[in-house]
A and B are shown apart, each in its own frame.
Chain A
Amino acid sequence: MNSETITTAPCPECAAALQLPADLLAGEVLPCEDCGADLEVTSLTPLQIALAPEVEEDWGE
């Protein structure tokens, strides 16, 4: 996976600048390195990042 940073976006929780990789995918989960929040990429165009939902009871492998 290409980890080259192409852009930054603000963390929706703490507003820190997130370093986003070039191969970012919608649905991907990223941790904010500043506040530790789990974030989910909800859209690539336009780029939208939200707090990832809490794990639900029927989630799993």
Chain B
Amino acid sequence: MSDPLLFLHARLRVEEKLLLQALAARDLPFQTQDIRQLHLQVDGPSQVGASLVWDRSLSFGRALSAMRTFSAAGVICLNRPEVIATCGDKLQTHLALSQAGLPTPRTRVAFSAASALEACEELGWPVVIKPIVGSWGRLVSRLNDRDAAEAVFEHREMLGDWTHGSFYLQELVDKPGRDLRVFVIGGEPIAAIERRSEHWVTNTARGASTANRVLDEPLCQLAIAAADAVGGGQVAVDLVERRDGELLVLEVNHSMEFRNSIEVTGVDIPGRMVDDALSRIREGVAG
């Protein structure tokens, strides 16, 4: 590995293909590496030749282990493993946002079905339960009442793996049929979208449509602060509005998808991401 940039991937989504096209258009040699075919030396001197490793692989666990190892070898990591560790864990993200004093939905974490029911009663129905690790809206469930909660909690206790032993419970924000995503690249908000759906889950992986959202000052400031709270880098900040307009930060994504956001915003998102990666190599700045 001797080229300045190593592009780490697994399955190539549209996003990775667009990033590779944008990289190929720049005057900088790079290599690609399928993380599933990679093994790294953990002890002894580093054998990594690249200046920067850009993770765009799909698996949170694999990406975290690989980037921790690259980081220990002194390679610039985009994103840094600390950012991946925070963003890949909804509870850790929420704690980082709260510690930064940012507005978030009312949330509890519980450690048994019984204590989760108590937490739900305190939050007030309906409640949303989310897996602490997970994406694309998988296993995000709306619990309208105690009966529904008891059913879901029993299933989690019987069927879930150890990660389901923690119950991450959140108020269902009464939102105006949309949530917001702001792309923050190197500390700069470059584009924002609204994700609209008739369904209460407004995730494009679940069929939500996208529209441009004007990046006004309050949205910019909150997105910048949220990105900073998780450690910076290249992230997408998901937000939701209450009916009175109050903005809340839901989560921050460290390996975001953007295929549905380029045309509606008119922003060359992959190009901006590549330019940011290249500037980090020039300046020696980690994600």
Contacts and interface: CB of A to CB of B under 8 A. Distances in A.
Given A27-B11, A29-B11, A29-B12, A61 B257 contact: yes
Interface residues of B, number: 27
Given A1-B17, A28-B17, A58 B12 contact: no
Given A25-B12, A40-B11, A52-B11, A61 B135 contact: yes
A56 B135 contact: no
Contacts of A57: 131, 133-134, 138
Contact of A61 (B17, B61, B255): B255
A1 B252 CA distance: 30
A52 B17 CA distance: 17
A26 interface: yes
Interface in A5-61: 25-29, 40, 52-53, 56-61
Contacts of B111: none
Contact of B34 (A27, A56, A59): A27
B21 A1 contact: yes
13 contacts: A25-B12, A25-B17, A28-B11, A28-B17, A29-B11, A57-B134, A58-B61, A58-B133, A59-B59, A59-B60, A60-B58, A60-B138, A61-B205
